[in-house]
Amino acid sequence: MKAMHLAGPGDRLSVLCLGAHSDDIEIGAGATLLSLLHRGIRLDVHWCVLSGGGEREREARASAADFLSDAASAKVEVMPFRDGFFPEQGEQIKSWFELLKARVDPDVILTHRRDDAHQDHREVCRLAWNTFRDHSILEYEIPKWDGDIGRPNLYVPVSAAALQRKIDLLISHFGSQRSKQWFDAETFLGLARLRGMECRAPERYAEAFVSRKLTLV
């Protein structure tokens, strides 16, 4: 399987990261972002968390600051949409997406999987595709109790160091989530090992995405 590259060392790449909740982006694509930065790619990142308030907002902002500490530029937005009720807030969230579209024109968008079992995740994906119709969108996966891990078709091999950094930051920043049975280092390591096996990653680990439309030039 021949590898393709989004960008090379020294190149600039603009990325829009969308997460329904304050740890979603980190879980789904944290090691990918860290690996791109480690390769010397100059990332301009717009990082959007749609549901955050109080402790969850503080966690989101502190985590994003650490994950993006080496980015060429970073903007973090945390919105107050109600956790668990995104479909019922569709009109308000769509209006926010339209305002976002007027402010950003990314090279690539990272968002949730379309068939994720969590209704908030699905709504973010639906509106991402509805709003950004001429952009490359990669859908990341979130392991959780639903058991809805799918069959990705795009892999990003990551280094063991990048994966460990991702896990360390997740565990250290998201104290509000540590009581959840699935939120631990073994879960994140195990999924990355499985995806690394599927794509024969050089260092055994990878993050996986669904890519529904790509144009090669």
Q: Containing H/E element for 164?
A: helix 160-173
pLDDT-flagged residues of the chain (< 70): 1
CATH number for the domain harbouring residue 111: 3.40.50.10320
What's the pTM value of the predicted model, to 2 decimals? 0.96
Q: Could you list the residue range(s) of the whole structural domain that residue 171 is in?
A: 12-210
Q: Containing H/E element for 49?
A: strand 42-49
Domain count, the chain: 1
Condensed to tens digits (0 to 9), the pLDDT of residues 147-162 reads: 888 899 999 999 999 9
- The answer as to whether 204 is a domain residue is yes
- The answer as to whether 36 is a domain residue is yes
- The answer as to whether 217 is a domain residue is no
pLDDT of residue 63: 98
pLDDT of residue 164: 98
Interior angle at CA 58, CA 15 and CA 26, nearest 5: 35
- The answer as to whether 7 is a domain residue is no
- The answer as to whether 140 is a domain residue is yes
pLDDT of residue 127: 98
pLDDT of residue 188: 97
Q: How far is CA 83 from the centre of its chain?
A: 18
- The answer as to whether 72 is a domain residue is yes
pLDDT of residue 6: 85
pLDDT of residue 147: 87
- The answer as to whether 108 is a domain residue is yes
